[in-house]
Amino acid sequence: MPIDRYFPRNHQVIGKHRHSDGQHYHFVWGPGRLADAAENKDVIAAYAARNEELVPIGVHGTMVAVDWDCCIADGSCIDVCPVKLYQWYRTDNDVPAVDMANATSNGVGSTNKEDRVDYTDKSEPIREQDCIYCMACVAVCPTQSIKVEQSNTEFHEQASQTFT
Ligand code: SF4
Ligand code: SF4
């Protein structure tokens, strides 16, 4: 089940994920739904090993959006991005994914494909504003979890004015 290409219209902003530099942030759209990750044996096993519940998470990012309910943590997008926009979120904040909606990250997480903590990890568009719109990440994602759309800047700016 690919990311909903119309997520900014069909979802609501449920969080503002900040970078500790005080300038950068991306929005999180929800409520999300159980999708590919909930059907993947590696992801299911990793959640079980942590004794964490596998629950809907939502979409991280707006112009560069990753559906965390679809992401199966294979790391292809992290590997291919020429500007190192993504990081493994657990290598910066090792907490349940649902707690990341309003978290602050330092942006020091790993940008190496092989460094996922385990299969509960997710690709986080921590440097969303650095995208050069090459679409390489979209092409390689095995679950079509990523939507890159520069015109979604409109929704990002709306949320910047209205989300508290
Ligand atoms: S479109 Fe290109 S620059 Fe933007 S996040 Fe994807 S791989 Fe990186
Ligand atoms: S390529 Fe897709 S499935 Fe793989 S880590 Fe990136 S978003 Fe997740």
| Nearest-atom index, ligand 2, CA of 141 | 1
Q: Whose CA is nearest to atom 3 of ligand 2?
A: 71
| Mean pLDDT over the full length of the chain | 97
pLDDT of residue 1: 85
Sequence ranges of the domains in the chain: 7-162
Q: What are phi and psi of 50, to 5 degrees?
A: -85, -10
Region 142-163 average pLDDT? 96
Q: Which fold has domain 7-162?
A: Alpha-Beta Plaits (3.30.70)
Please tell me the distance from the alpha carbon of residue 64 to that of residue 58, in angstroms, as a whole number.
Answer: 14
| Other beta carbons less than 10 A from residue 140's beta carbon | 16
Report residue 8 as tokens.
């900014």
Q: Please state, for a pLDDT cut of 90, what percent of the chain lies above it.
A: 96
pLDDT in tens, 37-69: 999 999 999 999 999 999 999 999 999 999 999
Q: Yes or no: say if 50 and 74 are a contact pair by the CB < 8 Å rule.
A: no
Instruction: State residue 164's pLDDT score.
Output: 78
In three state form, how does the secondary structure of 76-128 look? Answer: HHHHHCCCCCCEEHHHCCCCCHHHHCCCEECCCCCCCHHHCCCCCCCEECCCH
pTM of the model: 0.97
- pLDDT class of 23 with cuts at 50, 70, 90: confident
Q: What is the C-alpha to C-alpha distance for residues 80 and 113, in angstroms, rounded to an integer?
A: 9
Q: Which of 3, 110, 117, 146 to mutate to test the pocket of ligand 2 (most atoms within 8 A of CB)?
A: 146
- DSSP states of 137-152: HHHH-TT--EEE-GGG
Determine the distance separating the centroid of ligand 2 and the alpha carbon of 72, expressed in angstroms: 6
Mutate to test the pocket of ligand 2, among 42, 70, 77, 117 (most ligand atoms within 8 A of CB): 77
